[in-house]
């Protein structure tokens, strides 16, 4: 059996996430929003604990499966009860492993793009985003933060998709302004400091050479 390629394993996952974020799969996106809202409401408003909710969910699944199996036996369809369809095939396991690897590699590439490459706009954007995230996270719990992230991921992409040209033009304008501001700062401050350091080093070397000559 040939192993799935990198692109074939990663592309379905990206396409599903994109479809969910852009509401192309409305039933799936609505289910995620309803589940997230119900979980946040039960745990934050009604103060239920995670273990309690998880236990109730498992009990509901077990009761539903028990009733379903007994209904099949009652109607003489017990031959349809089989666990073979519940097995995780080797191909599915390999695909999940390749998808996880693709996400990890993409995260590493993003880290190096932000930190190593000389793109000050991307670096400042990443630092600012992380600072805002840390500030917001310090004022709320993890569940609320995840819930806000879920709502944002299902609303912001749609707004961006509808106003893509305007947002891109604004971002390009801001990028040019930031680049120009950095060039001015580099010319008026950083380069002067470098020249002063070089001049001081040269003067120090001259004084050292004069002392040695004496």
User: How much is the mean pLDDT over the chain?
Assistant: 79
Residue 205 belongs to a domain: no
Residue closest to 69 by CA, chosen among 56, 57, 83 = 83
pLDDT band for position 83 (50/70/90)?
low
**Which range among 106-110, 115-119, 151-155, 189-193 shows the weakest confidence by mean pLDDT?**
115-119
Residue 108 belongs to a domain: yes
Residue 155 belongs to a domain: yes
pLDDT tens, residue by residue, 93-110: 888 888 888 888 888 888
pLDDT of res. 176: 85
Residue 75 belongs to a domain: yes
| pLDDT over 90, % of the chain | 7
pLDDT tens, residue by residue, 163-177: 888 888 888 888 888
pLDDT of res. 108: 84
Q: How far is CA 114 from CA 31, 32, 54, 111, 179, in A?
A: 35, 31, 39, 5, 16
Residue 170 belongs to a domain: yes
Number of structural domains the chain divides into: 1
Residue 201 belongs to a domain: no
- Determine contact, residues 124/178, Cβ cutoff 8 Å: yes
Cα separation, 149 vs 160, in Å, equals 16
Residue 202 belongs to a domain: no
pLDDT band for position 141 (50/70/90)?
confident
Q: What residue numbers bound the domain in which 155 lies?
A: 6-187
pLDDT at 3 over 50: no
Cα separation, 179 vs 181, in Å, equals 5
Cα separation, 175 vs 179, in Å, equals 6
Cα separation, 80 vs 189, in Å, equals 77
pLDDT tens, residue by residue, 25-60: 888 889 999 999 998 998 888 888 888 888 999 999
């Amino acid at each position: 059996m040939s192993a799935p390629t990198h692109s074939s394993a990663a592309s379905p996952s990206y396409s599903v996430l994109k479809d969910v974020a852009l509401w192309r799969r409305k039933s799936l996106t609505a289910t995620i929003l309803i589940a997230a809202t119900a979980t946040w409401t039960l745990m934050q408003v009604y103060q239920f604990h995670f273990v309690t909710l998880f236990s109730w969910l498992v009990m509901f699944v077990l009761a539903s499966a028990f009733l379903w199996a007994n209904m099949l036996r009652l109607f003489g369809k017990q031959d349809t009860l089989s666990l073979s369809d519940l097995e995780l095939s080797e191909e599915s396991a390999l695909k999940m492993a390749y998808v996880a690897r693709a996400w990890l590699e993409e995260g590493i590439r993003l880290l190096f793009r932000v930190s190593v490459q000389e793109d000050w706009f991307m670096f400042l954007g990443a630092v600012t985003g992380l600072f805002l995230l840390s500030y917001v996270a310090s004022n709320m719990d993890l569940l609320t933060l995840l819930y806000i992230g879920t709502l944002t991921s299902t609303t912001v992409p749609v707004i961006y998709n509808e106003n893509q040209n305007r947002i891109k033009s604004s971002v390009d304008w801001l990028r040019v302004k930031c680049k120009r501001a950095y060039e001015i700062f580099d010319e008026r401050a950083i380069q002067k400091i470098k020249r002063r350091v070089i001049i001081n080093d040269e003067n120090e070397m001259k004084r050292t050479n004069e002392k040695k000559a004496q």
